[in-house]
Amino acid sequence: MNNNDKMTRRQVVAGLGATLAAVAVSPALGASPVSAADGPAKISDPTKLYPKPPFKSQPQPWPGLQSKMDPVPDCGETSYKGSGRLIGRKALITGGDSGMGRAAAIAYAREGADVAINYYPTEEQDAQEVIALIKKEGRKAVAIPGDLRSEDFCRSLVHKAIAGLGGLDIIVNNAGRQQSINSIADVTTEEFDSTMKTNIYAPFWIIREALPHLPPGSAIIGTTSEQAYDPSPDLYAYAQTKAATMNYVKSLAKQLGPKGIRVNGVAPGPIWTALQISGGAQSEKQQMFGSWTMLGRPGQPAELASIYVQLAAADASFASGQVYGSSGGVGQP
């Protein structure tokens, strides 16, 4: 063998090290390398992303239609892009016609889930828009109108959802009643009762009825609020229901964790929904709604859609008993 053809052990090791280093820094097989030609990162200034107040006064009778609002809330109809995170899942969403429930329904369908939505019968116009969007994604869409203040309806709601979807493994208790009343002296027993039944009794009735049908891996999500932590004086009834929602999320997470069922909550700050223009905020507050946030505007339902997806997705399997906030830099958590 020619001396020029000989390699020392040190040279072999050095050569092997160089080869491994080259492999480590090279793109993964089949992956597209990132280059400057791909252009700058696509980011948006959140202070300029959505409309800012003042908004025009636009009262509607409860529960309101978001399709008649100005500006119409953005629920991700044209912006949310799915990536298959909920393929084969089956979700029931209350208040799914508008606001955050609508945003969750659209996102879930685009992530591959079949979706049943509940809504008050007068919200049929908004609800049918959501049903059409779900079907456009090739997913099952089940519309179940009815009054959540009725225990009998809540029980039938669960069974209609299971029958229509072929099962159930995600429940989003999102529907809520909020009425701004300055003094406790002016809160009628009827109004107090309606708020409690919509916000507290309905989730209780729904979860209790659904529990025997929920397999391990299921997710329950409650919509709470910054009002649970920092209540407004004019939302005496509503605020305490949101504190109770936060509490049942943490309690049920402990109770149902051993069964493999996760329970979490979403705590929005000021979000532009029909809740505000149908009695949830008085005229002067509604016109400047969200101006006090660090972003100078209210949030849009589309900005919370990914949170509802994350809490339902299997890759969030260690998240239970958590409350995820989204408040534009104010409030808690």
Residues 6+ positions from 218 with CB-CB distance below 8 Å: 168, 169, 170, 171, 260, 261, 262
pLDDT in tens, 16-43: 344 434 433 333 333 444 455 567 778 9
pLDDT score recorded for residue 6? 44
Provide the mean pLDDT of the chain.
91
Domains of the chain as residue ranges with CATH: 84-326 (3.40.50.720)
DSSP 284-324: HHHHTTTTTSTTSS-B-GGGGHHHHHHHHSGGGTT--S-EE
Percent of the chain with pLDDT over 90: 86
DSSP code of residue 178: -
Coil, helix or strand at residue 90: strand
Longest dimension (CA), the chain: 104
Buried b (16+ CB within 10 A) or exposed e, 238-250: bbbbbebbbebbb
Asked if pLDDT for residue 140 goes beyond 80, the answer is yes
pLDDT score recorded for residue 5? 45
Average pLDDT of the segment spanning 274-296: 96
pTM of the complete model: 0.88
Catalytic site includes residue 229: no
Cα–Cα distance, 125 to 64 (Å, whole number): 11
Q: In whole angstroms, how far apart are CA 98 and each of 198, 249, 271, 275? A: 16, 23, 12, 9
Asked if pLDDT for residue 147 goes beyond 70, the answer is yes
Cβ neighbour number for residue 156 with a 10 Å cutoff: 14
Q: Which of 50, 108, 238, 248 is catalytic?
A: 238
Buried b (16+ CB within 10 A) or exposed e, 295-311: bebbbbbbbbbbbbbbb
The token pair that represents 236 in the structure block: 């005496």
Cα–Cα distance, 206 to 199 (Å, whole number): 11
pLDDT score recorded for residue 41? 78
Where on the phi/psi map is residue 39: left (φ > 0), alpha (ψ -120 to 50), or beta? left
Average pLDDT of the segment spanning 53-57: 96
pLDDT in tens, 307-329: 999 999 999 999 999 999 999 99
Asked if pLDDT for residue 206 goes beyond 50, the answer is yes
pLDDT in tens, 298-312: 999 999 999 999 999
Average pLDDT of the segment spanning 62-74: 97
pLDDT in tens, 211-221: 999 999 999 99
pLDDT score recorded for residue 231? 96
pLDDT score recorded for residue 106? 98
pLDDT in tens, 71-103: 999 999 999 999 999 999 999 999 999 999 999
What pLDDT band is residue 10 in, cutting at 50, 70 and 90?
very low
pLDDT score recorded for residue 148? 98
pLDDT score recorded for residue 37? 58
Listed as own residue / partner, the contacts of 29-34 with beta carbons closer than 8 Å and 24 or more positions apart are none
Helix or strand holding residue 256 (H, E): helix 236-256
pLDDT score recorded for residue 16? 38
CA angle 130, 131, 132 (to 5 degrees): 90
